[in-house]
Amino acid sequence: MSAAFILWGKHMSKLKVHSEEMFGMLIQPVLWVILFGLGMKGLVGMGAPGGDEYYIDFILPGIVALTALGGAIGGGVIWLNERTSGVVKEYLIAPIPRLSILMGNAMSIVTKSTIQAILIFIVGILLGVQIELNPLGWLGGLVLVTGFGIGFAGIALAVASKVDDPGGYHMLIFMLNLPLLFMSNALYPLESLPRWMEIGAQINPTSYAVDGIRAMVLEDGATLAGGETLSLWLCFVVVAVFAILGMGLAYSVFRRVTK
């Protein structure tokens, strides 16, 4: 797996060169929190448990999920570029496991998402969000962010392994991305959804990642989620399974195209 770390380091070092990408990576979540959190507050917040004062609290974990999805999509684009430019060939003839090539990419995606998640919470705190003063909970939250990020990175990498042009990639990813984000409890409480979407939300790993983060990192996470939270261990199990399935999918697609 050391090869995964080398490739991860390579991706991260590129970020330093791209000051625009770095800037975007940092500023984007801040904008999301401020624009979406404050803007939607009046509209959606009415139905939020605890009233619209708490909509930002409610939505922070959702924005974490949203940026993690965005990060995975960007990571998939990087992978697509490496494939089409042939750089992947250099990895393929190196004495390193195939999986580590994908893992290196997924790790850099997740690193960025984690940094963004932390930033989102800092901005939230500045806007008055009450968080739990429990480092263990924060750690748990990071684990969920990471797992969720790996899972979706897997999906993005799988699509980027199969598709040969950016247009097709974005089309496919968009179709996967939308339900994952909107058919969940990330941006609005479960009970405000129509019944069929609520069922969708309950089989959506995003709900489990978001709910787990909510419960562990935010004060009154349970109330925010509308009283009945998904049990924590279930959140971890679902996110772990999602991570493994996502990478598994990427791996099997990648293997098939490089045969």
Partner 1 sequence: MNKANNSELAIETRGLVKRFAEDIVAVDRVDLSVPTNTVYALLGPNGAGKTTTISILTTLIKSTNGSAKTAGFDVVTQADEVRRRIGVTFQEMVLDEELTGRQVLDYHGRLYGQSKVQRKAKIAELLALVELEEAADRRCSTYSGGMKRRLELARGLMTNPEVLFLDEPTLGLDPQNRASIWAYIRDLKEKQGLTLLLTTHYMEEAEEMADTVGIIDHGKIVAEGTPRDLIDQMGADTIRVTGSDGETSFTEKLRSLEFVQTVHTGDGVIQIGVDSGNHRLAEVVTLANENSYTISDISVTKPSLGDVFLKYTGRELRDK
Please give the residue ranges that form the binding site for partner 1 (CB under 8 A). 2-3, 6-7, 10, 13-14, 17-18, 82, 85-87, 89-96, 258-259
Nearer to partner 1, 5 or 174 (CB): 5
Let me know the angle formed at the C-alpha of 241 by 235 and 247, rounded to the nearest 5 degrees.
135
Nearer to partner 1, 231 or 255 (CB): 255
Query: What is the distance between the alpha carbons of residues 103 and 185, in angstroms, rounded to a whole number?
Result: 28
- In this structure, are residues 188 and 54 in contact, taking their beta carbons and an 8 Å threshold? no
**Residue 258 CB, nearest distance to partner 1 (Å)?**
8
How long a stretch of residues is the chain? 259
Through-space distance between the first and last CA atoms of the chain, rounded to whole angstroms: 22
- In this structure, are residues 250 and 109 in contact, taking their beta carbons and an 8 Å threshold? no
Tokens 């800037």 sit on residue: 23
Query: What is the distance between the alpha carbons of residues 173 and 168, in angstroms, rounded to a whole number?
Result: 9
Nearer to partner 1, 105 or 146 (CB): 105
Nearer to partner 1, 195 or 259 (CB): 259
**Residue 87 CB, nearest distance to partner 1 (Å)?**
5
Listed residue (84, 112, 92) closest to 12, CA to CA:
112
Phi then psi dihedrals of residue 200, to 5 deg: -60, -45
**Residue 185 CB, nearest distance to partner 1 (Å)?**
39
Nearer to partner 1, 2 or 194 (CB): 2
